[in-house]
Amino acid sequence: MSSSTMRIIIALVGITLMVVSFLMHSYKKITVNYTVMWELLGIVLILIGIVPVFSDWTNRLATGTGLAFFGVGAIFLVEEVRSSVMISQLLLKTREMAMHITMLNQENERMMHELERLGQIVEEKDEREKEKDTVCR
């Protein structure tokens, strides 16, 4: 694999990473923090691929070494994206659960106030009936 081919592939991987992270955020698969992190990594990869000063090291790699580098890098990148998606999904589910708990707590409070009000009404009714009983006797 030649140096210019590796540089082009690195830049294309950066562009792909940016597009995928943006789409995943728009479909609510990852959070904003992870989107920003992957976008910045995509920019770094594009700069490494485009700017010759940053990609000078590609001239020193043998063909097999470059291929192994891309294989390991691709596996690492895919697994890290997958991990960030899983963590983001857990964070989103945790927020949703917290909202449900808050709504249930509010409903519980409303029901407790209603029970207290009904309890007071029943107590007042019992007191009136006791007064009636004492007056009638």
Domain extent, residue 84, equals 3-136
Greatest mean pLDDT among 30-39, 68-77, 125-134 lies in: 30-39
**Residues sharing a CB contact under 8 Å with residue 15, sequence separation 6 or more, in sequence order:** 42, 46
**Residues sharing a CB contact under 8 Å with residue 102, sequence separation 6 or more, in sequence order:** none
pLDDT tens digits, 96-120? 999 999 999 999 999 999 999 999 9
pTM for the model: 0.70
Report how many domains make up the chain.
Answer: 1
The answer to which of 63-72, 73-82, 101-110 has the lowest mean pLDDT is 63-72
Output b/e per residue, 56-77; b: 16+ Cβ within 10 A.
eebeebeeeebeeebeeeeeeb
User: Which one is predicted more confidently, 7 or 66?
Assistant: 7
